[in-house]
Amino acid sequence: MAILNVTLNPNDMGAGHVLSNNNLTDTSTSTTAIRATHGRSSGKWYWEVKLDSGNNEVHVGVSNATFGLSDPVTNNNIRTYYAYNGSKFPENGSYGSSTSSGGTIGIALNLDQGTLEFYRNGVSMGVSHTDIKNLGIVYPIYRPGGTASKRVVFNFGSTPFTYSIPNGYSAYNNVIAQKAFIFNNPVYKYYSVSSWITLSSSSPTEQDYLNYGMDDISIIPESAWSQLTGEIELCYYTDDPTKTEAFFNIETNPFTLAEEWEDKEIKIIEYTDDPNQTESTITIETEPFTLYDELGDSVDVLYYTDDPSKTSAELNITANYSPLDELEGDFDVVTWSDNSNPKAASASSIPSPQSIIQTDDYNMYGDLLSIVDKLNSTNGTLRYAVSFNEGSTWEVCKFGKWRTIDISSQLTFKKNGMSHYDISLIYSTALKDKGNKIRFAYYIEDNVHNSDPGIGIDSMKLNINSATETIKMDNVAFYVLNTNATIQLSLTGSKLTGILDDSDKGRVQYRILLNDNPYYPSDGSFTRLAPSPQDIDLNISDRDVIFNQPNVLKVEFQDYWGETDYWETTFVGTYSGLMFMDESGEYLSDTFGGILKQLDFGVIIAGQTTLTQKVRIKNQLGYVIDNVYLAMDKKYERDGVVVELSRQANPFLPIDYLTYGLTQPDETIDFYVRIATDMRAQPNPNGLFELVVNADRV
């Protein structure tokens, strides 16, 4: 198999990530995500993620390209396993066991069935999701669950996996080869640029398929296929171990077996394993014919008998025959008699074959649906041709296809004209767009071999779908009444949400400008026209906002007809996220985790406890959150020094962590912090600690 260079993508990662080891190792100190370089839409793939060091607050799984790198894991465009507690997302539901630091998580992605399965140290935890196909093209993704420093190592197959690949799966970096040759007369060929190229080898090897095989035979044009004659075989090669059969869709012009077998000899071969069957009966429907039509003017009859007394055989044939039939051209009948009384001579004959051409058109006021002929006798040959252009050309329709014939030749007319059966098969689809005039031509030949009445047409009938007693309109003008599209938007925190609608139920599009600069789409163009109503749900990145100054957000929108309007709001740039503030309301950190102001406890004497300081958390995410979890980052722990948290100042009830329930946008949570020491505490002139907060989106 060919190998792809699949790594973590430095061009598709959020802030706080450092890549190493050829972009397969990630050291992170943020909760933003990072995707792999290559996506998949089909196949069964496996890769591993080792929790190399740090804590186990790690989400791994897949997402599509729509998932924002700063979006929460409850977003519907991501599917993950959370190593911290074994839950699955975006459901935030129970799934498997947690995986500790040093463990290895295996991911089995089955895009043929749309399932995702995770392995903990080589043991399956079962299928976590069955709706992966809804995401479209998906990418391996990693999203830390907290800001504590952690390191993970990805293995997409460039080195041996720690555990065995599940049966039927391939390493994620593998490329499944699918190649094809054409076998024809009797060499192997492949199509390149604009011509067929013959393979020099009479028996292609695996390397021949890989070097010269065609990836996609659907790009071969019809003109190239028509250059091949005789039987054509499609030779398919793949190194996919799960592939057991190949399917090809072959498109041709519509045809019928009758069309393919016309004027050809047909042989029917029947097989049966019934030992009692000695003969077969095959019934074929044909136009009426006589033995003379099949045998011609002469025939030999062979007679066999095992009767020893039989010495001769007689064959009696009844036919409409006269010696005059042997005479060709004009002739005179001369009689002589010595009887003075006059004698009357009479003769009867069958007309010669002839063509009858209609000189006038039938006018059709509507769509011609079918042509119906009523015959009073079929004793002979009758052929039809029609003209839709006042007799300039004559056409026949066989097997649903029209073609032009020359009716001036009676032989051609008899052979290629339409029969009564052909006329009955002409339906409205074949008569569509043939104009509003039609005329007929007939070839008539009576049967000379019996005395029955000759061929005769009682009537021809045209079935036309015509409108009667209707109103005739002329110089009609239509005016389109267009109603402008409307938009309802709200900006909460950094989240822009709303609906773009059109009362005409037409298609709509929009674009977003931030401080008169294109924001979405980034090139300044409008989004593609899409059916209304259209949801708008977009995060405004803090990196593009001017802090502590007015910012102008403008949304321009238009409908299918180009009628444009806009919505605009002005807001003062501020931070987004769960923001730490001191008692006076000053921010302690920014959106990106940078320190703006430290919570200073001054000099602490060993064995003493500091004064209590009040801290606030403000929800500036723009949406409701739940399960708020606040604790000190464990990496800053020191012997003899404990950072204590409490919900209230008096009495101060110290605990290791705090939890809170539903928190609305812009709502604040107050808590209290102090530092307790004992006599074992070692001097540290620049001691630091950090608080970490996590929450779930509702």
If asked whether residues 215 and 119 sit together in one domain, one would say: no
- CATH number of the CATH domain containing 21: 2.60.120.920
Q: What is the pTM of this model?
A: 0.38
Burial 632-651 (b: 16+ CB within 10 A, else e): bbeeeeeeebbbbbbeeeee
Reading the block at residue 649, the tokens are 């100042």
User: In this structure, is residue 268 part of a structural domain?
Assistant: no
Q: Mean per-residue pLDDT for 615-630? A: 86
Domain-ending residue, one of 572, 589, 609: 572
> What is the three-class DSSP state of 427?
coil
- Could you report the per-residue pLDDT of 195-206, keeping only the tens digit for each? 899 998 888 998
Is 293 strand, coil or helix?
A: helix
**Residue 686, in any domain of the structure:** yes
Is residue 436 located within the same domain as residue 504? no
Residue with tokens 């962590």: 657
pLDDT level of residue 348 (50, 70, 90 thresholds):
low
Domain co-membership, 559 together with 693: no
**439 within a domain of the structure (yes/no):** yes
Is position 491 within any domain?
yes
Residues 113 and 151 in one domain: yes
Cα angle: 126, vertex 129, 131; to 5 degrees = 145
The DSSP bridge partners found for residue 182 are 189, 234
Q: List, as one string, the DSSP characters of 571-592.
A: EEB---EEEEEETTS-BSB-TT
CATH code, domain with 689: 2.60.40
Q: Is residue 317 over pLDDT 80? A: no
Q: Could you read off the pLDDT of 76-98 as tens digits, one per residue?
A: 999 999 999 999 999 999 999 99
Domain annotation covers residue 409: yes
Pairing of strands 456-465, 367-377: antiparallel
Q: Are residues 590 and 537 in the same domain?
A: no
What percentage of the chain reaches a pLDDT higher than 70?
91
Confidence of residue 39 (pLDDT cuts 50, 70, 90): very high
Which sign does the torsion angle of CA 182, 183, 186, 187 carry? positive
Answer yes or no: is 481 within a domain.
Answer: no
Q: 366: alpha, beta or left, given left = phi > 0 and alpha = psi -120 to 50? A: left
Nearest to 511 by CA among 526, 496, 489, 533: 526
Q: In the block, which residue shows the tokens 């035979």?
A: 217
In a domain, 284, yes or no: no
Number of domains into which the chain is organized: 5
Check whether residue 557 and residue 667 sit in a common domain.
Answer: no
Residue 23 and residue 102 share a domain: yes
Cis peptide upstream of residue 518 (ω within 30 degrees of 0): no
Per the model's pLDDT, the better-predicted residue between 340 and 62 turns out to be 62
pLDDT at 2 over 80: no
pLDDT digits (tens, 9 = 90+) for 175-224: 878 889 999 988 999 998 788 999 988 889 988 888 888 888 888 888 89
Residue scoring higher pLDDT (114 or 365): 114
Q: Which of 525, 551, 572 is the last residue of a domain?
A: 572
Place of tokens 């209707």: 470
Residues 126 and 13 in one domain: yes
Instruction: Note the pLDDT of residue 406.
Output: 92
Same domain, 115 and 170: yes
Question: For residue 350, what pLDDT is reported?
Answer: 64
Same domain, 21 and 165: yes
Band of residue 621 on the pLDDT scale cut at 50, 70, 90:
confident
Number of neighbouring beta carbons within 10 Å of residue 526: 14
Q: Which of 147, 175, 203 is the last residue of a domain?
A: 175
392: which DSSP letter?
S
Q: How far is residue 658's CA from residue 660's CA, in Å, rounded to a whole number?
A: 7
Tell me what percent of the residues of the chain surpass a pLDDT of 90. 29
Whether 649 and 677 have beta carbons less than 8 Å apart is answered as no
- How far is it, in rounded angstroms, from Cα 616 to Cα 580? 6
Same domain, yes or no: 55 and 134: yes
Whether 685 shows a pLDDT value over 80: the answer reads no
pLDDT digits 0-9 by tens, 117-169: 999 999 999 999 999 999 999 999 999 988 889 999 999 999 999 999 999 89
What count of other Cβ atoms lies within 10 Å of the Cβ of residue 3? 12
Provide the CB-side half-sphere exposure for 380 (13 A, CA): 24
Is residue 327, in this structure, part of any structural domain at all?
A: no
**Residue ranges with strand state E in 167-232:** 170-171, 174-175, 178-184, 187-192, 195-198
Domain span at residue 550? 486-572
226 and 146 share one domain: no
pLDDT recorded at residue 70: 93
